Every structure is written in structure tokens, then in C-alpha cells.
């Protein structure tokens, strides 16, 4: 692996399986789990396909020859690529791409003979297939650039489980530890333990950073969720004064709330989002039910005000640290929380927090919230960055384990609204 130019962008594969760098002018698309990196003004592309196969499965990794057979027509297929990097297998040749099918659908559109090179990299349960497809005949200049891209590629030696496998492992662990309880997987990457719902999103992120700590990460939360099953009325329907300081807001997809959590107190917000309310526990949280709100004799607005006050107190006690990118003039152009947190994105409901963000940027902000635990805020003084981040938010929304919205938000002195249309440069 070699060091790429510092201004290059970073592409992170699913489940942190790989990381690579590419020129910022290139566009990145994702179709059915296949990343396609496209140079500007060209039909050429570099595609990366991740194939996951469980070790106990009878199915084996395909050979590159089997994948090449998916091309409608090929000629001159030979072992070895037109240039090499550290790979387990490589082939090259020409292809006529008249009838796209399978995972290549949407990537191949030309009917001319086009040169290609293909590489495979294998790890336990994981195979990466990398394909360089030229616009026509071999382009040495493109190959030199792709060589730099591929030389920046880092592949995990011990790949982490993808989300669906992680969820099944969590289910198996919970059922083995607590066999007397009714436990199953529900939608939105959640584990249902009796009457409790445990979101797996934060635990999965922690697992990606520490894959050897699977049980250590999950067991405390599972134990807390199980303890809830033994609660009486005082615990499941506590007096307001007992939990007042632990009532927190949380962002949720409005459509998912209405479909999956109809008995939970919520408030529609903007951009297809809703604000729900939870009681924060040590390693989990549980949603405030409509019947409980009525028992407390609170309106939704009163509950909301209480939750926002607690949210501000939460971050006063545990301040959010931000990674800040600056322009050449020293202005803040982009801000991202330095670590995931269940309550990161919902801070956009806090007037106090919004004022701080705008003070740092000295401008209005475009904010992407593809998932619950992280957001990215970009100064409206940098429209070219806003456009790039908008595209990245759309991609992240498709990949994240707890999706919120693929829309962008606009933060001004008047509050938060949905960002409509493209941002224009005033210059």
C-alpha cells in the first residue's frame, strides 16, 4: 500500500471491509452493493464488488473465470492483468457488453469492444472482485491513475460480520443466555426481547471497531433488556418524578414510526423525520407510550420541552467533540461529531446547539442526517462541498444500519428546515 495524495477522497466499504482513496473529481455510485468509481467525462469505471460467504456454507467463492462468463461476449482472455498489485487472482481481456445482467446491471451500457482487467482478493468469508473497464481500448493514463487508487487499498485481514449476520449472532446469543424469554429479530435492525426492543445499531458500530469483543459489547445491554421483563407497574409505568431527568428525544423515520410503533408518543418533524421520546437506561432505552404520557398528565409539547432540556444537560455533562475542516482562509467548512452517539442527530432540535454550530461556521449550514448516530454539517459558503456531501448522504442512507433520511436539512437563524434544490455559488 502507498500513500495517496492528501486531497483525495476516501471510500469505506461495507462493514469496514476495505478502505481506498480516489481522486475527488471521480463520481462514486453504488448498485446492489457494487461500488463504481467513474472518472469525469468518461464511460470507463472501476468497480468493487464484495462477496460474503459464511465459512460453514457449502457454497464456495467463484473463480474469476466464472465472473468473466457473465459478460455477454469476451475475447482474448488471459491470466494476469495489464498491471498488477497485490491480488490473489487476475485476468484481462476485451468484452462486448450488449446484455447486462446480474450485479453488473446498470454499470455496463456500451456495445463496443472494451478492454478490461479484473482482480480478486480473498479473506476469510470475504472476496473482493475489482474490475477496471476501459472506455474502449486500453488507456495507459487511466491505468496509471487506477494503479495509484488500488495501491491505496486496505483490506481487513479478519472481516467483520455484515449487519444481517451480526443480528443473527445477537439473536443466537440472547436465546442461549435467556432461553425462557420470547426473543426474535424485528425490523429496523432491532432485537425484540419480550416486550422490550433493543436497537442493534450502536452495538454494531462498536463491534466494527472491536470485532473480538462481540459478547462484551452485547451482554450488558441484553441483561438490561431482560431485567425490564421483570419490572412491575412501578418500573414499566413509573411516576413522572422518578424518570423526569432521563426523558430524552430521539429522531426516527416518520414512516417507520407510524408503521412499527403506533402506540409510541411521537411528533412529525421535517424531511420525513419524527421526534420520539425515550427513557434512557444504562445500556438501553425504552419508548414513552401514549398511555404513560396520559398517566403523567402531560401534553406532547410539555413532554418535548422536558426532553430537550434533558438533552442539553446530557451534552453539558458529556460535551460533543467535533472534527472541523477549515478552508484556506481559516473558516470552518465542515463539522462532524468525533464519535457516534444515540442522541447526536437529535441535537438539531436544540436552539442552544444550533446557535453554537452557526457561530463556529459563521454562516448557515447544510446538514446531512442519513443515520441516527452521526451528522455532517457543511457551511453554505461552500456550495461545491454541499453538493458532494448531498450525494454521499444519499449513499450512506442506503447503507446505514439505522437510516433516517436521504434529504438535506438547512440550519439558519430561523431554525431547521428541509434544504430544497441545489446550492448556488454566489461568486
Per-residue confidence in pLDDT tens, the chain, 427 aa:
678 888 888 888 888 899 999 999 999 998 877 999 999 999 999 999 999 987 555 567 888 998 998 888 999 999 987 666 788 999 999 998 765 555 455 554 445 899 999 999 999 889 999 999 999 999 999 999 999 999 999 999 889 999 889 999 999 999 999 898 889 998 778 898 887 778 887 788 778 878 899 999 899 888 877 776 666 555 568 899 999 999 999 999 999 899 878 899 999 999 999 999 999 987 668 899 999 999 999 999 999 999 999 999 999 888 888 999 888 787 889 999 998 888 999 999 999 999 999 999 899 999 999 988 889 999 999 888 898 888 888 878 876 767 899 999 999 999 999 998 776 665 5
Q: Which residues pair with 116 in a beta bridge?
A: 93, 133
State whether 145 and 177 are in the same domain: no
Residue 369's region, left for phi above 0, alpha for psi from -120 to 50, else beta, is beta
With respect to residue 289, please indicate whether it lies within any of the assigned structural domains. yes
State whether 69 and 98 are in the same domain: yes
Looking at 155, 189, 221, which one is the last position of a domain? 155
Q: Taking the CB of residue 86, how many other CB atoms lie within 10 A of it? A: 11
With respect to residue 52, please indicate whether it lies within any of the assigned structural domains. yes
State whether 13 and 126 are in the same domain: yes
Handedness of CA 399, 89, 118, 4 (dihedral sign): positive
State whether 191 and 151 are in the same domain: no
Give the pLDDT of residue 1.
61
Looking at 100, 127, 155, which one is the last position of a domain? 155
Looking at 316, 334, 358, which one is the last position of a domain? 316
Q: Which domain holds residue 335?
A: 322-418
State whether 170 and 310 are in the same domain: yes
Indicate the pTM of the whole model. 0.61
With respect to residue 143, please indicate whether it lies within any of the assigned structural domains. yes
State whether 17 and 150 are in the same domain: yes
Q: How many domains does the chain have?
A: 3
Give the pLDDT of residue 102.
52
Give the pLDDT of residue 110.
45
Cell of 214: 462481540
State whether 151 and 175 are in the same domain: no
With respect to residue 358, please indicate whether it lies within any of the assigned structural domains. yes
Q: State how far the Cα of 107 lies from the Cα of 340, in Å rounded to an integer.
A: 33
* CA proximity to 126, closest of 16, 13, 17: 17
CATH number at residue 135: 3.40.1000.10
State whether 147 and 171 are in the same domain: no
Three-class SS state of 141 = helix
Looking at the chain, the number of H-run helices and the number of E-run strands are 12, 23
State whether 33 and 122 are in the same domain: yes
Q: How far is CA 286 from CA 3, 31, 265, 294, 308, in A?
A: 46, 35, 12, 17, 17
Give the pLDDT of residue 201.
78
State whether 105 and 218 are in the same domain: no
Residue 290 backbone phi and psi in degrees, to 5:
-60, -40
Q: Which residues pair with 119 in a beta bridge?
A: 90, 130
Q: Which residues pair with 45 in a beta bridge?
A: 133
For the chain, state the CA radius of gyration.
24
* CA proximity to 274, closest of 377, 396, 405, 393: 405
* CA proximity to 366, closest of 322, 327, 421: 421
* CA proximity to 223, closest of 185, 189, 177, 167: 177
State whether 82 and 226 are in the same domain: no
With respect to residue 98, please indicate whether it lies within any of the assigned structural domains. yes
State whether 255 and 184 are in the same domain: yes
Amino acid at each position: 500500500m502507498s500513500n495517496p495524495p492528501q486531497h483525495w477522497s476516501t471510500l469505506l466499504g461495507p462493514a469496514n471491509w476495505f478502505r481506498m482513496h480516489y481522486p475527488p473529481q471521480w463520481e462514486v455510485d453504488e448498485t446492489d452493493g457494487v461500488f463504481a468509481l467513474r472518472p469525469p467525462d468518461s464511460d470507463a469505471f472501476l468497480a468493487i464488488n464484495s462477496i460474503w460467504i459464511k465459512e460453514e456454507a457449502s457454497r464456495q467463492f467463484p473463480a474469476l473465470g466464472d465472473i468473466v462468463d457473465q459478460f455477454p461476449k469476451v475475447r482474448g482472455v488471459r491470466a494476469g492483468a495489464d498491471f498488477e498489485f497485490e491480488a490473489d487472482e487476475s485476468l484481462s481481456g476485451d468484452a462486448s457488453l450488449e446484455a447486462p445482467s446480474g450485479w453488473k446491471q446498470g454499470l455496463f451500457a456500451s456495445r463496443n469492444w472494451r478492454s478490461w482487467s479484473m482482480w480478486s482478493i480473498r479473506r476469510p468469508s470475504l472476496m473482493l472482485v475489482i474490475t477496471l473497464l476501459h472506455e474502449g481500448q486500453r488507456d495507459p493514463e487511466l491505468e496509471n491513475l487506477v494503479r495509484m487508487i488500488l495501491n491505496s487499498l486496505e483490506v481487513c485481514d479478519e472481516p467483520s460480520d455484515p449487519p444481517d449476520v451480526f443480528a443473527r449472532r445477537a439473536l443466537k446469543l440472547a436465546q442461549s443466555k435467556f432461553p425462557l424469554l420470547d426473543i426474535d429479530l424485528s425490523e429496523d435492525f432491532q432485537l425484540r426481547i419480550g416486550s422490550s426492543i433493543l436497537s442493534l445499531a450502536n452495538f454494531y458500530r462498536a463491534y466494527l471497531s472491536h470485532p473480538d469483543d462481540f459478547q462484551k459489547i452485547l451482554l450488558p445491554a441484553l441483561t438490561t433488556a431482560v431485567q425490564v421483563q421483570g419490572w412491575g407497574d412501578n418500573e414499566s409505568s413509573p411516576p413522572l418524578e422518578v424518570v423526569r431527568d432521563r426523558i430524552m428525544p430521539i429522531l426516527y423515520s416518520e414512516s417507520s414510526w407510524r408503521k412499527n410503533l403506533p402506540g409510541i408518543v411521537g411528533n412529525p418533524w421535517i424531511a420525513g423525520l419524527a421526534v420520539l421520546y425515550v427513557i434512557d437506561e444504562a445500556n438501553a432505552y425504552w419508548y414513552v407510550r401514549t398511555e404513560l404520557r396520559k398517566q403523567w398528565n402531560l401534553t406532547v409539547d410539555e413532554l418535548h420541552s422536558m426532553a430537550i432540556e434533558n438533552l442539553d444537560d446530557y451534552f453539558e455533562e458529556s460535551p460533543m467533540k467535533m472534527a472541523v475542516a477549515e478552508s484556506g482562509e481559516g473558516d470552518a467548512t465542515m463539522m462532524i461529531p468525533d464519535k457516534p452517539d444515540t442522541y447526536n442527530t437529535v441535537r438539531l432540535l436544540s436552539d442552544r446547539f444550533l446557535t453554537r454550530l452557526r457561530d463556529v461556521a459563521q454562516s448557515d449550514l447544510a446538514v446531512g442526517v442519513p443515520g441516527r448516530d452521526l451528522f455532517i454539517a457543511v457551511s453554505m459558503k461552500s456550495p461545491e462541498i454541499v453538493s458532494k456531501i448531498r450525494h454521499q448522504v444519499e449513499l450512506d442512507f442506503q447503507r446505514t444500519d439505522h437510516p433516517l433520511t436521504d434529504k438535506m436539512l438547512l440550519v439558519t437563524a430561523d431554525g431547521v428546515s428541509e434544504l430544497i434544490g441545489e446550492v448556488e455559488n454566489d461568486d
